[in-house]
């Protein structure tokens, strides 16, 4: 399954009356008075969202902005149903009232065709019609228990980014593979050398090696290579080991060293096969785009160490 988050902008296109070349003097709740108003705002929003996408990619979120859709009427809605369904999340810019007298035909149609729908309204520099009309439609969806995949964002780009991060995390975990692990093999000389190479790279950046013996480090390095092999063979991005079990006696090692390297490399490696915490760990790492810290810390207050 493709892990890339596919986002799409959907513009509520004004009726033709408001898209004339000359500004219409008649007013309503919203800023569009001519085609130029609408086209300038559309171009501005697309630039803004391209910047948002780049920012999220910089955080490690694998996200793509699909071509935008304009919806003016029911024909437009039906014509674009397939494209809306292919998006992971549709961000709807309600620059103009959408079926408000029904109320909300187009709003509800978009929601029905969306895995996730985010209604994004702006107040500055241009006030969207959605600031008045979208909240009642959203409340109607909530009243009927239909808003679990719908979000309302009133001008807050940081809130929108947080929602996109969360949806990305949910998409990743929905297709994640979790690997189950058996004991490590210490007899392969090639593996012993590769294990010590991995250990030496890790230890070379440490301030001091306090407790582990060379044998401990070797076993930790082989543990890492075995886990990495299992991950590669299963094309998985998530692993957990029931390390405080008979496995500990058989391996005479723990996966802590391996997990530290794997988490830093983008693989989610969760301690102790904890079924509740592993889900939270996976989501936090995918949502943040950074290694999420997970362990049972013990604090040595005298020495100031964990």
Q: Does 185 lie in the same domain as 169?
A: no
Q: Does 135 lie in the same domain as 280?
A: no
d(CA 151, CA 144): 15
User: Of 174, 195, 221, which residue sits at a domain end?
Assistant: 174
Burial of residue 95, with CB atoms counted within 10 A of its CB: 0-12 exposed, 13-18 middle, 19 or more buried:
buried
Among 3-7, 83-87, 164-168, 222-226, which is the least confidently predicted range?
Answer: 222-226
Q: Does 236 lie in the same domain as 135?
A: no
Q: Does 190 lie in the same domain as 170?
A: no
Q: Does 106 lie in the same domain as 49?
A: yes
d(CA 208, CA 211): 9
Q: Does 185 lie in the same domain as 163?
A: no
pLDDT of residue 184: 45
Based on the structure, what is the number of domains in the chain? 2
Would you tell me the crossing angle of helices 275-288 and 157-174 to the nearest 10 degrees? Answer: 130
Instruction: Quote the domain boundaries for residue 85.
Output: 5-174
More confident residue, 166 or 240: 166
- CA distances, 234 to each of 24, 226, 237 (Å): 61, 12, 9
More confident residue, 51 or 217: 51
* 299 is a domain residue: no
Q: Does 29 lie in the same domain as 130?
A: yes
- Which DSSP category does 273 fall into? G
Q: Does 87 lie in the same domain as 168?
A: yes
> Would you say 72 and 15 are in contact if contact means Cβ atoms under 8 Å apart?
yes
CATH at residue 23: 3.40.50.2300
d(CA 306, CA 302): 11
Q: What is the mean pLDDT of the chain?
A: 84
Check pLDDT > 90 for residue 183: no
Check pLDDT > 60 for residue 87: yes
Check pLDDT > 70 for residue 181: no
Q: What pLDDT digit, counting tens, does each position of 115-162 carry?
A: 999 999 888 888 787 788 888 888 888 999 989 999 999 889 999 999
Q: Does 144 lie in the same domain as 16?
A: yes
d(CA 232, CA 140): 47
Among 44-48, 168-172, 278-282, which is the least confidently predicted range?
Answer: 278-282
Percent of the chain with pLDDT over 90: 30
* Mean pLDDT within 280-290: 89
């Amino acid at each position: 399954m493709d892990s890339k988050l596919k986002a799409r902008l959907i513009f509520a296109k004004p009726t033709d009356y408001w898209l004339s070349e000359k500004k219409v003097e008649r007013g309503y709740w919203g800023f569009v008075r001519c085609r130029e108003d609408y086209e300038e705002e559309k171009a501005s929003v697309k630039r803004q969202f391209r910047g948002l996408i780049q920012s999220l990619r910089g955080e490690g979120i694998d996200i793509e902005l699909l071509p935008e859709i304009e919806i003016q009427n029911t024909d437009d809605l039906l014509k674009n149903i397939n494209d809306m369904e292919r998006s992971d999340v549709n961000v709807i810019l309600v620059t103009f009232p959408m079926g408000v007298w029904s109320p909300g035909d187009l709003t509800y149609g978009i929601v029905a065709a969306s895995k996730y729908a985010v209604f994004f309204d702006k107040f500055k520099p241009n006030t969207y019609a959605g600031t008045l009309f979208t909240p009642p439609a959203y409340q109607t969806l909530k009243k009927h228990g239909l808003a679990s995949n719908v979000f309302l964002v009133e001008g807050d780009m940081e809130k929108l980014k947080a929602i996109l991060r969360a949806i990305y995390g949910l998409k990743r975990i929905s297709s994640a593979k979790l690997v189950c692990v058996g004991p490590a093999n210490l007899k392969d000389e090639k593996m012993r050398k590769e294990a010590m190479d991995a250990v030496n790279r890790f230890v070379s950046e440490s301030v001091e090696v306090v407790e582990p013996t060379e044998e401990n480090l070797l076993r930790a390095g082989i543990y890492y290579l075995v886990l990495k092999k299992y991950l590669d063979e299963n094309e998985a991005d998530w692993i957990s080991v029931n390390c405080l079990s008979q496995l500990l006696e058989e391996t005479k090692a723990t996966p802590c060293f391996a997990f530290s390297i794997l988490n830093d490399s983008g693989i989610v490696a969760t301690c102790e096969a904890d079924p509740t915490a592993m889900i939270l760990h996976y989501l936090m790492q995918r949502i943040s785009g950074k290694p999420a810290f997970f362990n049972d810390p013990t604090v040595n207050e005298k020495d100031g160490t964990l």
